[in-house]
Structure 1
Amino acid sequence: MRHCFSRPATGPAILRTARTLLLGGALLGSLAACGSKAKTTDPDPTTPDTGANEPAIFAQTGFSTQNGGTTGGASGSTVTVRTLADLQQYASSATPYVIKIEGTITGGTQGASVSVNSNKTLLGVGSTAFLEGVGLTISNKRNVIVRNLKFTMSTVTRTAINDEGRPQVVANDGDCVTIEGSQNLWIDHCEFYNLDPVTQTNQDLYDGLVDAKGSSQYITVSWSYFHDHHKCHLIGSSDSDNADRKMTFHHNYYSNIKERLPSYRGGTAHVFNNYFKHVTGSGVNSRVGACLLVENNVFEDVRDPVTSKNSALGYWSASGNQYLSCTGSQPTNAACTLAVPYATTGVLTPAAEVKDAVTTKAGVGKL
């Protein structure tokens, strides 16, 4: 299919085929189509949708590399979308796709939810791809990659009263990304935010930034920027939801968030090389028998950096962490043992290197 380039009004538009763009060492498909129409290109077997050919620090690692690995839509065609309708169409399709998202796609004040099917890559173009009031739902699916996208639900005004008697955004249950019973997911180099919890005091209004429930497992959340929110990651929706989840959180930047970084019920998780700044409730919260390996993170101005609270006890192995101007639980001991099944050589670094690396390289536009 031909692709379009616009020129000034001094002459006719010129149609020609665009060669693929090189971004951060990774071929990311074709240029955007004219107007709002989505376009499709043939699959390119060299396109590293898994990030495998990027710098080693950005390569996919963690639990998402297990259980057969996570390749997203690498086996399918590449499409570029600019509208909510096109995003919903391709994301929900049973066909594998690499879906490149250009510019801002908005759900308006009502908000919107996009159901993501198996074998998909959602990939923001450049540094301006933005899902504004548009949440993702990944329910009973597998093999999904979400990269280089900015998310917020703070522009949505449609709410309903929840079970706690508080207003909550209706679209996508207020979550930016909600995961239910899904396997092999990689969320990388994204940005998630809502409003400063000091000024927006309703803790339930926007619910979670990235939440996972049920039998969700083999998930990595990496190199992302989470900020200005109450409740970041709820892993397990209740004390009875204690499935054997397996998740990795690494090289994320958490700033001005109240709690749930993550709040983790049951199963196992690896939390390493993250930077936590100004957390007013609690940081890593291991619950209901969970075992979390918490290593080489930096906690700065954090209340209860690593703890177990709000339900039955969970456990951790904490080592190599820096606690700077923190209060409350700051463990350096092991209450459980977790040996992760993947290599961390060249990825796991000393805590002294974390703050600079994460603040400069996490978030959108860094690939």
Structure 2
Amino acid sequence: MRTSWRRTLLATTATATASLLVVGALTVISSPASAAPNYLVGWATQNGGTTGGGSSPTTTVTTAAALTSALGSSSASVIRVSGTITCSGMLRVRSNKTILGNAGATIAGCGFTVNGDRNVIIRNLTFRNWGDDAINVEQNATNLWIDHNTFTAGYDGAVDIKRGSDFITVSWNRVHNHDKTMLLGHSDSNAGQDQGKLRVTYHHNYFDGSNQRNPRVRFGNPVHVFNNFYRSNGGYGVASTMGGGVLVEGNYFENVRDPYHLGEGSSGPGTLVARNNHFVNSGAGQAGGSVAGIPYGYPLDPAANVKSIVTNGAGAGKISV
């Protein structure tokens, strides 16, 4: 049940989007994102950029033991995952890794954790039936690109980012048959570690009936949510809480009663600026306040085209790696 302060805010700010301001400069790249889905944009381009293993040697893994060893190596590397790997728990990913799925590559029963490490790329994998999180990012981990993966039927978060992590792009992923999707900031009491961090870009993701946390934001400002397709999300799309600042831009909402709002559960409100979104049989959303400026250029597709672009391009198996 939502608290009374949120009901008051809903009544006073549901139509306030047109009067909101985004503070700071904004550059939009003219070429459409749909033409270059392999192109890294967003927060992961900052702080020195995100290159993963770069041109380091490539290792192909087909077993849980080999995957665990490769992910945990202290050396920079490119790891190719082949077939279905069945595992349990959370496998730690160390710095300077690119993890690429070959066609049909699946991680079943376990997840990856990036704990205090940096410069990691995770692409083209299907995660299913994980017992904790599919991808967990924490303890000041920085510079990650999580791209073109599919997440389904797991226990907790598909991609949870918390505890001071920063400079991350989450793009072109599909989440379906799953409840708690993408948490940004794990606790209302963690402001000391999280304020000034948790800067994440979510773009061209397909939230395909995923119920909630698409994403749920604490503290991060600005968090950039653009050109995503939301379909039949039963709980809500985006929530901005605990002083977070979220720009919700150019998204397509279809059959989503609550596209975005301020505050969630016992967490107080953040700010949220909404502009140029497209709604089909959906609510109007709740916005309020201002959001810090976006420091990077980015390609922005027209919101009305996003459904087609994202359904054709998001998820594992939609790129050649």
Q: Which of the five TM-score ranges fits, normalised by the shorter chain?
A: 0.7 to 0.9
> What secondary structure is seen at the aligned counterpart in 1 of 2:297?
coil
| CA-CA distance at 1:77 after TM superposition | 0.9
Structure with bigger RCO (C-alpha 8 Å, 6+ apart): 2
Q: Are 1:221 and 2:170 counterparts?
A: yes
Structure possessing the higher radius of gyration over alpha carbons: 1
Query: Among 246, 250, 254, which residue is 2:199 paired with?
Result: 246
1:1-367 → structure 2 map (5 Å cutoff): 56-107=36-87, 111-126=88-103, 128-153=104-129, 169=131, 174-181=132-139, 182-194=141-153, 206-242=155-191, 243=194, 244-268=197-221, 269-308=223-262, 309-310=264-265, 311-327=267-283, 330-331=285-286, 335-344=289-298, 347-367=299-319
Amino acid at match of 2:143: N
- What CA RMSD, in Å, does the superposition of the two structures yield over aligned residues? 1.5
> What secondary structure is seen at the aligned counterpart in 2 of 1:285?
strand
Q: Which 5+ residue runs of structure 1 have no aligned equivalent?
A: 1-53, 155-168, 196-205
The answer on whether the counterparts of 1:105 and 1:134 sit within 8 Å (CA) in structure 2 is no
> What secondary structure is seen at the aligned counterpart in 1 of 2:269?
coil
User: Percent identity between the aligned chains?
Assistant: 43
Amino acid at match of 1:191: T
The answer on whether the counterparts of 2:161 and 2:198 sit within 8 Å (CA) in structure 1 is no
| CA-CA distance at 1:218 after TM superposition | 0.3
For residues 194 and 285 of structure 1, the distance between their equivalents in structure 2, rounded to whole angstroms, comes to 22
Amino acid at match of 1:152: R
The answer on whether the counterparts of 2:75 and 2:96 sit within 8 Å (CA) in structure 1 is yes
For residues 291 and 119 of structure 2, the distance between their equivalents in structure 1, rounded to whole angstroms, comes to 28
Name the structure where helix makes up a greater proportion of residues: 2
For residues 253 and 55 of structure 1, the distance between their equivalents in structure 2, rounded to whole angstroms, comes to 17
Give the match for residue 10 of structure 2: none
For normalisation by structure 2, the TM-score amounts to: 0.84
| CA-CA distance at 1:75 after TM superposition | 4.3
For normalisation by structure 1, the TM-score amounts to: 0.73
Where has structure 1 moved over 3 Å in runs of 4 or more? none
Q: Which 5+ residue runs of structure 2 have no aligned equivalent?
A: 1-33
> What secondary structure is seen at the aligned counterpart in 2 of 1:230?
coil
For residues 57 and 318 of structure 1, the distance between their equivalents in structure 2, rounded to whole angstroms, comes to 24
Amino acid at match of 2:247: L
For residues 291 and 92 of structure 2, the distance between their equivalents in structure 1, rounded to whole angstroms, comes to 36
| CA-CA distance at 1:76 after TM superposition | 1.9
